[in-house]
Structure 1
């Protein structure tokens, strides 16, 4: 029995050694950072409907915006070219889970449920939800209590943190879903809705683009949140992206880009 046991042990060790040798013969899959560098392509997911972060031209399909410029710079820092992939707020996380892109950008707010799916970069912005209304009516909607009334129609784009905020904080107001975030502010400007609640940076921009609309205290938002880029769970890639963003913030080019797009 002892000899038989010894022979079995030798055979088992030989199998393990053989398996190890085979494993060494097969190169390990590289990190996402390695794959982007090797492929010379960085796939960037964008909802494409959120100024100033990223908007898709419906006629040409081209993307423009703050995050478009910055992720293009990230791609070039990796020796790659950006490939912009259209997603939407309702399908954002399903597309991310399906591996359709390497970076999810375009004005994404940091939330714990999104954090479970991947790594967020260092924050690119700190903001919060604020209201925007027709200038003639802005004084009427000076707070959430004034907005949360049965006669008030609150426009919201579905699937993102704007809808989540409205559902959590508005219980009497009429929440009116409007699917096109690029034109939703016309609903307020033309009187088909009374208020929209969105990120303060967007209210500041939209009051410039729509002279009849006024941002309501964007410097005193209803809450605070951060924006960042959502990345697959690859620590080497995250560290590179974080350093890229940090460098842009450190040398002032991020702030300059924000100012350019807001102006």
Structure 2
């Protein structure tokens, strides 16, 4: 009797185990979402370098330390449109092109003017901003009224910029190079130099931030076009960014970002 009871219990246990196994087999579809997620690796990472001392294009928010600015908003929108996961990396301006050439970064957005010399070593996206150079002096300076009065003067510039290139054309100029524009403009405020040659929107923004002891003089020199720099060996990145930029200009997102930072419609 006990033996029969034991056999019966064993049979019930085997049956229950079989049912449990069938139940586990029935849970196989539950694994599909995880498999689908694994099959879809998501957005490819795009490492983008920028000199984050160039307000209002890219700079650190004083309250949060977060990088903000026109370029920052734009590259975030471009990456979202192009399907990239953005990895934003701060570095000095004169280190951006070397970083592109050595594949440390996949792109650079930093109010970088498209020039023939730069195009020899990197590719550029379509133009996303039109700018120009301007001279900044102390507000009390009545002698310098533009580029024509810079001969023999002390000029501060940011290394590797078109402002530095223009300063190097000035006869007998005494040029001081800095790693970022803020340092150059502070040197001007302190009276250590006579002038700063820099991109107009950046110098104008500096004055607007309460630096009334600095003024802009003369006409804006030449029309400069900013582009996103991309390594020569990454044509697919260039194609995607150009496609995304075109879309943002068509759907109004680009204009929205532009007006946020410059208070006017795109030029």
TM-score (norm 1): 0.75
Structure 1 SS opposite 2:212: coil
Shift of 1:106: 1.4
Unaligned 5+ segments in structure 1 are 1-36
- How far apart, in 1, do the equivalents of 2:49 and 2:205 lie? 22
Q: Which residue of 2 aligns with 1:156?
A: 157
Structure 2 SS opposite 1:224: strand
1:120 aligns with 2:100: no
Structure 2 SS opposite 1:172: coil
Q: 1:192 to 1:68 in 2, by over 3 A?
A: same
Indicate the structure (1 or 2) with the bigger Cα radius of gyration. 2
Shift of 1:60: 7.3
- How far apart, in 1, do the equivalents of 2:216 and 2:197 lie? 10
Contact 1:131-1:195 within 8 A present in 2 as well: yes
Contact 2:167-2:173 within 8 A present in 1 as well: no
- How far apart, in 2, do the equivalents of 1:100 and 1:198 lie? 27
Q: Which residue of 2 aligns with 1:68?
A: 72
- How far apart, in 2, do the equivalents of 1:69 and 1:244 lie? 14
Contact 1:127-1:200 within 8 A present in 2 as well: yes
- How far apart, in 2, do the equivalents of 1:187 and 1:174 lie? 14
Query: Residue by residue, what CA displacement relative to the aligned partner does 1:165-204 show, whole Å, maximum 9, x if unpaired?
Result: 211x212222122334233312112212221011111122
Shift of 1:56: 4.1
Shift of 1:142: 1.8
Q: 1:259 to 1:183 in 2, by over 3 A?
A: farther
Contact 2:50-2:93 within 8 A present in 1 as well: no
Unaligned 5+ segments in structure 2 are 1-40
Q: Which residue of 2 aligns with 1:231?
A: 230
- 1:86 aligned to 90, 101, 123, which one? 90
- How far apart, in 1, do the equivalents of 2:252 and 2:203 lie? 24
- How far apart, in 2, do the equivalents of 1:79 and 1:250 lie? 18
Q: Which residue of 2 aligns with 1:170?
A: 170
Shift of 1:243: 2.3
- How far apart, in 2, do the equivalents of 1:136 and 1:259 lie? 32
Contact 2:52-2:58 within 8 A present in 1 as well: yes
Which protein is richer in strand relative to its size?
2
Q: CA RMSD in A?
A: 2.4
Q: Which residue of 2 aligns with 1:216?
A: 217
Query: Residue by residue, what CA displacement relative to the aligned partner does 1:117-176 show, whole Å, maximum 9, x if unpaired?
Result: 232111011222111112221x4222322111x3x2211122222212211x21222212
Shift of 1:68: 0.9
- 2:113 aligned to 106, 109, 113, which one? 109
Q: 1:66 to 1:114 in 2, by over 3 A?
A: same
Contact 1:87-1:95 within 8 A present in 2 as well: no
- How far apart, in 1, do the equivalents of 2:179 and 2:192 lie? 14
Q: 1:200 to 1:180 in 2, by over 3 A?
A: closer
TM-score (norm 2): 0.74
User: In terms of mean alpha carbon deviation, does 228-237 or 89-98 score higher?
Assistant: 228-237
Shift of 1:247: 2.8
Q: Which residue of 1 aligns with 2:193?
A: 193
